[in-house]
Amino acid sequence: MEWYAVFLAIFGAIVLLTAWLPLWLKELPLSLPMFCIGTGVLLTWSPLLPIDWANPLENRYITERMTEFVVIVSLMGAGLKLDRPIGWRNWGMTWRLLFIAMPITIAGVALLGWAVLGLGIAAALLLGAALAPTDPVLASDVQVGPPQSGEEDEVRFALTSEAGLNDGAAFPFVYLAIAIALSQASGEPFFANWLLVDVIWKVSAGLAIGWIGGWVMGHLTFRLPNRAALARSNDGFAALGITCLAYGTTELANGYGFLAVFVAAVAFRAVERRHRYHRNLHSFAEQIERLVMMVLLVCFGAAIAEGTIFGGLSWPVVFVAALVLLVLRPLSGWISLAGHPAPYHEKLAISFFGIRGLGSFYYVAYALGQAEFDGAQVIWVTVCCVVLVSIVIHGIAVTPIMKRLDRYRTSMRSATGPPRGQPPAIQRPRH
């Protein structure tokens, strides 16, 4: 059999289905990630194209690089979507989720890893840091719509902005886990270097380079004379250039590239909010993100079917996964939003939809390449279990819950006007 031709045929069919299925799945309690994982399982069990290289335990570097790429593209898309100007009040829910919910989640998961899974301090902290952030890739079903679409209610905005920022905010805790693991092996102190370099410098570099880079690119795109302005080209692939430039320069400066990419996108929008070129950039970033996500989730499904990953599955792992998704994230989210004027059902939805995904794979793959962690297989199995259960539970729940919220919001708006504290939607451009 000509395996290359079979591969191209199957790949083409999956790409076409990936483009078509979201239109069909909008009305069903299913999601594209669920379909991709199922496809990987079927391919592994079929004689057509067995996939035997998808195990992240055996291909850590490939896992790290592919998840890294899809996350930074997703972060650029998330930043470009946000119509709301950044500010302490406008982003009130975001700051609560970032500074209250995420640290509680990290501490809770780390405690579960230590007490239930028997992990050491460094491994338990790595597990907590990997599973705390809301994933920007797989959370697209609960995010705001394209730029200037008007689909920016409090629930969608909070989850989009949270996913954009907490991927970078979790990195100091990943580095803390790495520092503890290295210190345990060498006996050298770690806290001062971690605080000065991994927290203060890297966060500052990510914020500064991201904002300056986005501001400069925004002026080059929109503020130059008409013949020289990049927006005149209408080329969406410029989004990929902005993404890679922001990420690469920040990483070269030893900063947090994830943080820089999202901040660059927000700064880019701040220069010119209403131009239709934003839609081109977002559309291209979304298409690249979906394609790479499809490949990764098919590989994830193949790894599940192959059996090595979940060969170490145990009841303690299942117990921890259930607690993380059904208790810890909803509880930490609810605590962080206490006192916010949003309706309680919206706060419940935000707390529940803490979707875990490909970013978690990246953190584990990256950390395991930097230091030796006891219980590495337990970490992988737990992360894979949490991500799989998240994809299934949230994928089934997202359509009916979001539809119900939209119906309630429409009825309330018609009766009382826009919800309190929510800025009016930006009008569509008239270009």
Is residue 306 within 8 A of residue 54, CB to CB? The reply is yes
Q: What is the predicted pLDDT for the residue at 425?
A: 46
Q: How far is CA 123 from CA 308, 332, 349, 367, in A?
A: 20, 22, 30, 10
- The predicted pLDDT at position 72 comes to 94
Q: What is the DSSP string of 308-349?
A: SGGGG--HHHHHHHHHIIIIIHHHHHHHHTTT-SS-HHHHHH
Buried b (16+ CB within 10 A) or exposed e, 249-275: bbbeeebbbbbbbbbbbbbbbebbeeb
3 state DSSP class of 148: coil
Whats the size of the chain, residue-wise? 431
| Position 427 confidence tier, pLDDT thresholds 50, 70, 90 | very low
Answer CATH for 3-416 from 3.40.1160.10, 1.10.287.110, 1.20.1530.20, 1.10.10.2840: 1.20.1530.20
Q: What span, in angstroms and rounded, lies between the C-alpha atoms of 37 and 387?
A: 11
So what's the pLDDT on residue 61? 87
Segment 212-261, tens digit of pLDDT: 999 999 988 888 776 666 777 777 888 899 999 999 999 999 999 999 99
Output the pLDDT for position 196: 96
Average pLDDT across the chain, whole number:
86
Q: Where are the domains of the chain?
A: 3-416
Bigger pLDDT: 15 vs 231: 15
List the one residue out of 331, 395, 385 whose CA is nearest residue 360: 385
Residue, of 423 and 277, whose pLDDT is higher: 277
Nearest residue to 376 (alpha-carbon basis) of 170, 124, 129: 124
Residue 152: both structure tokens together = 């920016």
As a whole-number percent, the residues of the chain with pLDDT over 90 amount to 46
Report the C-alpha gap between 340 and 348 in whole angstroms: 12
Q: Provide the pLDDT for residue 431.
A: 39
Long-range Cβ contact pairs of 288-291 (< 8 A, separation 24 or more): 288/73, 288/240, 289/70, 289/73, 289/74, 289/77, 289/137, 289/140, 290/18, 290/32, 291/15, 291/18
Cα radius of gyration rounded to whole Å, the chain = 21
Q: Which residues make Cβ contacts (< 8 Å) with residue 136, sequence separation at least 6? A: 71, 74, 75, 77, 78, 163, 164, 167, 359
Residues 6+ apart with CB under 8 A from 344: none
Structure confidence at residue 379 as a pLDDT band (50, 70, 90): very high
How many Å apart are CA 271 and CA 213, to the nearest integer?
Answer: 12
pLDDT tens digits, residue range 321-367? 999 999 999 999 999 999 898 888 899 999 999 888 899 999 999 99
Rounded distance between C-alpha atoms, residue 178 and residue 183, angstroms: 8
Least reliable range by pLDDT among 60-69, 91-100, 274-283: 274-283
**Cβ proximity of 91 and 84 under 8 Å:** yes
Q: Is the pLDDT of residue 30 over 80?
A: no
- Residue that has been written with the tokens 């299942």 in this structure: 318
The pTM (predicted TM-score) of the whole model is 0.89
> Residue 429's pLDDT is what?
43
Helices (H), 132-170: 154-169
CB 166 within 8 A of CB 133: yes
Beta carbons of 162 and 95 less than 8 angstroms apart: no
C-alpha distances (whole Å) from 85 to each of 164, 185, 285, 344, 405 are: 15, 46, 21, 25, 24
Q: Which pLDDT band, with edges at 50, 70 and 90, does 416 fall under?
A: low
How does pLDDT run across 132-172, given as a tens digit for each residue? 998 888 777 787 777 877 667 888 889 999 998 988 889 99
